[in-house]
A and B are shown apart, each in its own frame.
Chain A
């Protein structure tokens, strides 16, 4: 199974995302922001980083990268798409997911191991978790506060579209402690913390992040 990882100017975590895909047993395919073709991949990861220097707003410029047009078309047709951190910001700017990520409420760039509670394991990216499972993976961002209007928040809650919440104290002012959400169909997931940095104990706080990547590979095989 071939999973594409897009590199934008300023992407940081594309290599770790590609490595996580390989560790999970998939083939990682490098995609370039200026390309138009997705090279026949079965799914796409938008990695973390600071695409286009975070100029204007995080993800605002990356949204209009040539490759994003094709990704949006395919994702709306059901292609699996995971946005991590800056990737989540790009998904919100693209309106592939509702809401927006704003400056952390305490203004600090947070970099720490963060405990999450998995709330939805029916998405293509979370089926290897159980609902209510606690996982610990790195959180590292300055604009991770998830915001949306009351109506959208009620819809996300009612439809079970919150994929993960921060456990314990809310680190950044996100509404309802939201760490990640999914679209109606469950093929598009956006997540602020970084599962790709927690795939082996040598370099991460846990191996808890690997299941995002094993989930999608199992879904694609079956």
Chain B
């Protein structure tokens, strides 16, 4: 069984109010020197067989079609060995 990880983040220029709220909360808990937090999504996609280039390409297609909205988000795909 193979697992492919897709991570989706808001593009840098898109405001992330959730990340900003977390960044504001951390200093109150004693975590200092934090300048920024961005919150994203992580998808763990499992399937039978090996993570062939074809499988990775298929997951990339799924990321572009559904997992990420490319208007506001970027994504990365990697194999979790």
Give Cα A147 to B66, complex, Å. 19
Number of interface residues of A (CB under 8 A): 20
Contact of A99 among B16, B18, B71 (CB under 8 A): B71
Chain A contact surface mostly: loop
- Chain A residues with CB below 8 A from B71, complex form: 92, 98-100, 147-149
**Interface set, chain A 20-62, CB cutoff 8 A to B:** 56-57, 60
**Interface set, chain A 95-126, CB cutoff 8 A to B:** 98-100, 102-107
Give Cα A148 to B67, complex, Å. 19
Closest to B39 in A: A103
Contact of B34 with A by CB under 8 A: no
Q: Is the CB of B15 within 8 A of A93?
A: no
A99, chain B: closest CB distance, angstroms: 6
Contact of A187 with B by CB under 8 A: no
Closest to A173 in B: B15
Contact of B21 among A60, A99, A107 (CB under 8 A): A107
- A-B pairs, top 8 by smallest CB distance, nearest first, are A100-B71, A100-B72, A107-B17, A103-B17, A105-B17, A100-B69, A107-B21, A147-B72
Residues in chain A within 8 A of chain B (CB atoms): 56-57, 60, 64, 92-93, 98-100, 102-107, 145, 147-149, 173
Given contacts A57-B69, A145-B15, A149-B71, 12 further A-B contacts (CB under 8 A): A60-B66, A100-B69, A100-B71, A102-B15, A102-B72, A103-B16, A103-B18, A104-B17, A106-B17, A147-B71, A147-B72, A149-B13
Residues in chain B within 8 A of chain A (CB atoms): 10, 13-18, 21, 66-67, 69, 71-72
